[in-house]
Structure 1
């Protein structure tokens, strides 16, 4: 103690003035400043400048004084713009001066420039100020890269590398609980931090950016004006600079981790931090406080009257208790995110992987979640009827309210979204441990509300981490945690809350679940924490968190952090993004404007129209995010928005699109590929834009070759929209608005074996139906005429998915050709491998047409169509009149056509169509045994039909039943159609990518729909 008093300078103001004049040649007024060891004076010099005169404690080793002097000198050279004290040299040009006290003790003198500003301790610590502080410290430390001095290697307790010494001072802490708190931090320091210290980047740092050593601008307290007092500067881990500044900034701060994150963000922008440094920041902040309170406790006897030593003791204890209550993983996630890193390593990769693989995930519910009619559950207040609390703590009433809610609003699935603000979270358990006087109100999971007992399945393979019961009111009830480790993706955990307790007996930690395996059932209120039946589903990208540690509700301030740590489970659960955001006009407005602006006879499907906004694979998604399994729209042959088609279209469109009068590789390449799929002499192609154009071009080819007009077509046929095609389409000219049959059109009966006369042997169906065509030809001959052509769909579709009897086309083609006519196969609906066994449906009849027309599936939704014919017919067409089609065969369309062929061949989609089609046919036949209304099942590949009858014996059409099934399937999220003369044939033409899983979904919906319609009578 006596040595301290003897070495501490004790000069009067007058003596200090003399020293100022002697060594610096300056005069001015001096005022003393507080200091623990040295003596400091503020100097208002006569030259108008302000300085600080420091008289150094004689006990300070010379090397330390020289260290501080050289540090400031280094900054003067390498960062002259930094707002730090700058050295004023003595009259002799030295950086330090020397004097002797009245006690004969030698003291060093240093004069530095004054840094103007207000101590941060006396200003509000705004986010802007703290980020500015971090930025300044980053610039400061960056400027000191490469600087070293022996004085920087001194051994100080304030060096965070020595924070473990606090354990030696614990006996000074009298309170048992306080001592235990410090022991917890010390234990984490020894196990987590100490092993990493030798691996950290180290440099000379300020080491004491407390809020008295940091100054803000007088006129702008959001801007740091300077940093002063380098008495504690030393060589230490770089991350310690932020930890120390954050420890002081967090004192009495409502959001201490937020303050630390703001400082770190500013520092990182100037001096990029490493992830391994940020990983230790939380513990280093705590250990600075532990060091502070233990040093204060050990020196309390010497601090009477000197607030400097105990300046932060009380708020330091308060902050330590806050940090002790926090989950360090959450604090670190906030700090990482502030510096631009993922909240948890790999978090963004998990989210990206789920998004990229969402199509391959198994349904979480009995069928894909997006297929249920759904609505938001308005969970914004504590009196919402979905909670037991609002039902007077009577679980059965909450369930009744839930069921009434479903009936009233007409949905099967209620969705509580991620990120929703909910004031319903009112218990003490929802008080924030990060921010003072705040609650956790933002939902961090996805809630799916359905009836008690609804089964939920894991969409992907998993290992059971834990199964536990939370019995607290408004808790999770039965809670299951699963770990997923997909290839090419970091591991992640899913949390399944509010389940029935049966899962506790069925699942054990370590159990392996395959994709689609049962996780549990939605529990009743008396076992799910007191809620209406629902699943709380949550993803955690931090696999080290236990199920109990995963936050189901978070602070609004850190929603962007929670979004990475606990990302939205919508994609994982199969909820379409369109569910949350409806764009464009309402259904009612579109219907109204269509009536006003479009042709009045433009039809709309279904009594309640659907507004589709996106297509994806086998799915169509409406404006409410509901997904419909598309088993009807065969235009998108290889699936809606197939990426290969989209890429080919966009790439060529971005390069060139023009007409066929110019040369381009694509049209030749596509003609080569397309004609290569054709048998016989079918070798010449012509390209148009639609199936109707293709059929019109076929008629021109036919006329040029035969010079005739007489047509033979099948009853109920439909070949296109132009008038000449309507004239040969009984489906149009025989119905309302049609003008009847033209004299040159001859209609043969549909060769429908199911409706053939009962006395016809099955093996003779082809011959018997073909005879009707022979009769038509004979009638023409009797009048001195001959047929020009026979045209038929290879599988009549509008007629009711009619599959031609064996030998039919062989006999018809023979008769027509013998009469001098040509045979045209309309493959607009059935081509491109849809039948599975062949590229073209006519091949299943063992024939080769003279002309083949194709459209719809050819471009997977792009307006493209084609005609392929023989060289002889093409030469007949070359009669001197140019054939030109502005858009037909353009480079973009041909690029699309090539992409479609590539996918069909590359993905072996013909084989898929055959296998899945056979699977569906087997399923339909099994249903036929259970439902009397199913009169006939027919199909080939993915071209399928089910004919419904009132009575199987007389085969009376069940038109109303068919419409009810079609509408019922639509209500259940599956699109099918009805066709046939009586609209009693269910028509299904799903995309070629239709999978076994999709088939199972279709079969399940049809089974449910048939049962419901049958039950209604």
Structure 2
């Protein structure tokens, strides 16, 4: 039956009327507050005891059969385990009542939570949950049969195109009206091809973010749980259920519509889609967006006082804009490529990327001459890729980097320089941006050396489909199109050309000339979709480039013309998933890896990392690379020294003494430390320091602080007490390790402001008591090891006076003091070269490593001669590669660069800028608790309550994942995993620091 052929005015029922209906039909006294609806009336009822329920006044267009079908569907949902609210019977025991002006009335239980419409940004896990819920819906309703399902209303997607045509005249904006109708026409043309193959069943029909109640999870986000409002229940295409759900998710981040493919994939894993359904999905998403816009305008035309409908116009517009922001052929390809349905539809002109190239054997014998038969000289392929050696030292950031690569290639005497199809270009990477740049070319660029005019010929048999002033489109025999742009055309449309037929002339020039060759599938250029050259750079003739997320579709829509041009194919794809599988197969499960879906990092420059697709990230965690990634001075030092000598430190060479002297010169003037012992890592440095204190004192016991990390060697792990790295740390320490209380003034036993010296004194007194007890038990302390800043706690600064007092007590007890400077040394705090300087102390031993080699393996211990010589009681010390000429030369290059580039000053200035930015965010976002640290060793602690300091650990993990999407790498630390650790390369700029703060602000604004 046709129960609703048009948009309808809502029932004329006021809040006072609703209260009367509640009293008359349900026997309750309640206060009514209207909720939004397009064509019905919904009211929240609140009784005096606080009990809440929802009253629905149905539009008269709905019949009793439709209501009974909805009740049957609710039973089916509950039987399948899909959460839905119960319909509450009226005073007479019936689910449907008659109230007010004879309207059909129903009352449902109130569901706690919030509509997913209000969720803001939807994390990948939430998108997958939405897809799973839509699948649960169709699975639950698959066998539902009821006369009330035989409905044909405007929201049934099978008639959506007709309804768009009917409602579109209400759209007052003419340009928008044309866009809506054109998009609907194109979507229908694709649907017509597969409609007969689409399964039909009972579907909810409006399973959107507005009709799904969200429950807040442990990660602080809303998660879709309860299905509401079955007013659009009817027989429909099964895939339409998913299309409606997916379309409703688009407005949460309309600039990235492909994110909803996570929901699509989750649906497919639980309710597998056929190829026909996969092909139909995005056209249905477009149609849904079109009818939302057209229907919204029509609703306002007939019910202008409907504030709900007026407010929805903005959201509906965003859905339509996002749904149509990609060419339809591309969007369809994204869906089918992501799902790979098991029953592919054979379409002659949908050839794969590996389709045989016409005349490929003949073309390969003479590179490019099938297109430019008159060229005289070599053809060279230019490497503008992510790992190009020609783009070191940040040259890829130069605006003319690509042109310089081409000029360099042609300067060598080559006739043509080729920028190939499908190779991610580092030259197009952008930094400090929430969006990945368009880096993947869908065509091949030929840069022809300056010289006389040259004939341009067709490399294959073809028919001229289109010809312009500067380019031609040729239709090949297999249905694909070959675009050649950048020359003067002299052929006419519909001309049939044999291979080698001239199509135009490349004019003479004193500079290089560009030709762009693009080979695409027919559906990428035909119909209403924007032609492929719509994504080319305007007025340059350069091949179009697409962002990494669009590559899966374009790698199928656009084919590599290399075979036609006689060139080897170099096309790339994102291999991060392959690398993850390889890693999981060959590496130990205990080896840590960042991120749920990690990117594959292949390049770094200063404080940026770049993945295989050319996406750049601000690196906020790599304190190992203190100078920054790819430092030229370090690279040159490695290159020079490795060509001269690299041997072990038992030989005599000047680099070892030179580097050791430079290190000692960096100590405070009153330092008694005069001896350096070099190893390969921070773990080895800590291990050696522990051996030294035990040898020097003749004692065994070492005192370490709780929540500390000192390394992975047997001894380093023994004094590592952090539950972040080992949940059983405190229960598994060896007998010779004593764990003392950590002086964390935010979360420890004693708490107070930074300037409150009593906090430090009380912690030190407790340490002194520990030392006394150890001595009484016959276990006097050999040494005390402490990070100069509590790194694993999140960059927490030691309380004022603590370290000086602690050192004094340890020394009075006959022990030695080890400063673990592996993370905070070398100017990271900004206030001094060494972290211990901010406490006005000098340790007996200093363990150093990470920043010493800027990522090169080097570590060491600085101590006094007396302590170092004590090791002779245990035999000779050596490290085969510790202190080798190469390591020392790298260390010297690092020290030179730190001095020349003012890294300590930058750490101080940018650290203050970052800390101020984070504190400003804390004024707006309650989830931010204390800001820890100093310089470029900071921690942003996230809490659920600032009074109780309940850790926001799950929120912190989710925030890190979202920041990665926005181009910022930051990770969590502390035993509670709720502190964002901020310890970037010391060269980070103010611009990148500001961007990182802004990105965090955006994330917190989106969801917390």
TM category, shorter: 0.3 to 0.5
Choose between structure 1 and 2 for higher RCO, CA contacts under 8 A separated by at least 6 residues.
Answer: 2
Q: Which has the larger radius of gyration?
A: 1
TM-score for the superposition, normalised by structure 1: 0.47
